[in-house]
Chain A
């Protein structure tokens, strides 16, 4: 079964750091471009980061640029999101999501994990 599963969500204080992981299974992870998308009740769904299959091309939303770092380990079938300088408005459910097409920059997200909750609060 094609599957993504996020982990690492937690309650963290403002200014703190957190590392999210996304474990992939059931498909050739190294062939696919990947994304992180977050969701809050107030701002809805927000794309925050893209990384291509070989980690050569990376993009971020302005809201996280300079604070978040995306990476992947194809040997471990895993995607990561290092989040630093966390703020209250980073509170959200974080999803990893696979690009539908194997070419080009981000497009449709055809496989999503169940999400992991990050809460930034003192």
Chain B
């Protein structure tokens, strides 16, 4: 199985800050990488698919980049409603696997 490693596991930032989360795959996954946002008690929500495509309805302050083994999710200006845990997920082969998550908090 392909292992997905996210960093950091948690971060604290101020409103308006630029925030970047990274995700590393244990082998080449091309651009088959998705990002999700999860708030407590809720299901994950798809933010970015195929590494850099913004899902419909997701604010443009979210962006994704990368290919191969190294990927990143950036929030250009952190908002209070962005407080959540973020997960990456690959689908290069079966089984699709998720990263361990990055918890984003407001400083």
Contacts and interface: CB of A to CB of B under 8 A. Distances in A.
Physical interaction between A and B? yes
Interface of A: 44-47, 50, 59, 61-62, 95, 97, 100, 105-110, 112-115
Interface stretch (B21-29, B67-75, B97-105): B97-105
Interface in B51-107: 55, 87, 89, 91, 94-98, 100-101
B98 A107 contact: no
Given A45-B44, A112-B44, A113-B43, A107 B94 contact: no
Give the interface residue-count category, chain B. 20 to 34
Nearest to A48: B95
B18 interface: no
Contact of A100 (B46, B94, B101): B46
Interface string B33-51: 0101000001111100110
Given A95-B44, A113-B43, 9 more contacts: A46-B97, A46-B98, A47-B96, A59-B94, A100-B49, A105-B94, A106-B91, A107-B49, A109-B34
